[in-house]
Amino acid sequence: MTKPLIGITTFNGKNDYGRMVSAVQHTYVQAVTLGGGIPILIPAILPADDLNELYSQLAGVLFSGGGDISIKYFQGEDHPKIADVDDFRDVTELTLLKQSVEDGKPFLAICRGVQVMNVALGGTLYTHIPDQVNGALHHDQDEFTTIAHPVNIDETSRMAEIFGETLLHVNSLHHQGLKDVASDLKVVGHAPDGVIEAVELPGHPYGIGVQWHPEWLTNQPVMLRLFKSFVDASKK
């Protein structure tokens, strides 16, 4: 069977010459490749019609990590630590997420991605965990490859089936997190301090979101299974 085309959402950044680029870290591209898919980058600058046409040719969508979502989409509490808000990216990803839910198109949402998933479906976010969650662990670490905290996965979840394990050891590079969870989503993983780390969309062929960065942990077989299961679901 041919490999499925997996769209990866991108950020709008600048190169060393100060010129605008559509970009994504290589680890996402590599993780999709390791999972057996062909990565296609989705620019966050497309006119709506073109975005829709690109989307229609994708077998699955990976929502990548990045800056914070504008508080206007969830009536969030403003905070001085909110950073890297990009309205083009917000609109692009909120549109793609809603469309993927509606069409039953497989998607995997990572870090900012799981926040997009929640906001697109009507949920809200903590806009700075250290100031808004009592007793929170240090979730905003600097190193992608450092294990920061465990995550307990609900043993009756789809995700437990995918991972084949219910105790994970993950990295943590987020200062925001899910607050009020969209009613269609099921919370299936928490950090020891109660911060939500994993959600899934029951009834959808493959709608999975994680707050950590599995694309940096593919040396763990359990994390690689996530990408393989996503690509496999996208073949159907």
| Strands 196-200, 186-190: pairing kind | antiparallel
174 is catalytic: no
Is 27 or 172 the residue whose CB approaches Mn ion more closely?
A: 172
Closest approach of Mn ion to the CB of residue 191, in Å: 5
Tell me: does residue 229 bind Mn ion (CB under 5 A).
no
Contacts of 132 (CB under 8 A, 6+ apart): 77, 126, 179
Is 77 or 193 the residue whose CB approaches Mn ion more closely?
A: 193
Active-site choice (93, 197, 200, 215): 215
111 is catalytic: yes
Among 87-95, 134-142, 153-161, 219-227, the segment contacting Mn ion (CB under 5 A): 134-142
Active-site choice (111, 139, 149, 204): 111
d(CA 4, CA 230) in angstroms, rounded, equals 10
In single-letter form, the type of residue at position 57 comes to Q
Is 35 strand, coil or helix? helix
Among 28-36, 73-81, 138-146, 180-188, the segment contacting Mn ion (CB under 5 A): 138-146
| Interface pick for Mn ion out of 128, 139, 158, 179 (rule CB under 5 A) | 139
Q: Are 124 and 180 in contact, with CB atoms under 8 Å apart? A: yes
Among 38-46, 76-84, 171-179, 216-224, the segment contacting Mn ion (CB under 5 A): 171-179
Tokens 């469309």 label which residue? 99
Is 148 strand, coil or helix? coil
Q: Which residue is nearest to Mn ion (CB)?
A: 172
Closest approach of Mn ion to the CB of residue 235, in Å: 31
Q: Are 90 and 138 in contact, with CB atoms under 8 Å apart? A: no
CA-angle at 184, arms to 206 and 40, nearest 5°? 35
Tokens 């009020």 label which residue? 180
Closest approach of Mn ion to the CB of residue 185, in Å: 17
Percent of residues in the chain assigned helix, strand, coil, to nearest 5 = 30, 25, 45
Q: What are phi and psi of 54, to 5 degrees?
A: -60, -45
Closest approach of Mn ion to the CB of residue 142, in Å: 13
Is 128 or 204 the residue whose CB approaches Mn ion more closely?
A: 128
Q: How far is CA 119 from the centre of its chain?
A: 12
Is 100 or 157 the residue whose CB approaches Mn ion more closely?
A: 157
204 is catalytic: no
| Interface pick for Mn ion out of 92, 127, 157, 172 (rule CB under 5 A) | 172
Closest approach of Mn ion to the CB of residue 44, in Å: 25
Q: Which residues bind Mn ion (CB under 5 A)?
A: 139, 172
Enumerate the active-site residues.
111, 213, 215
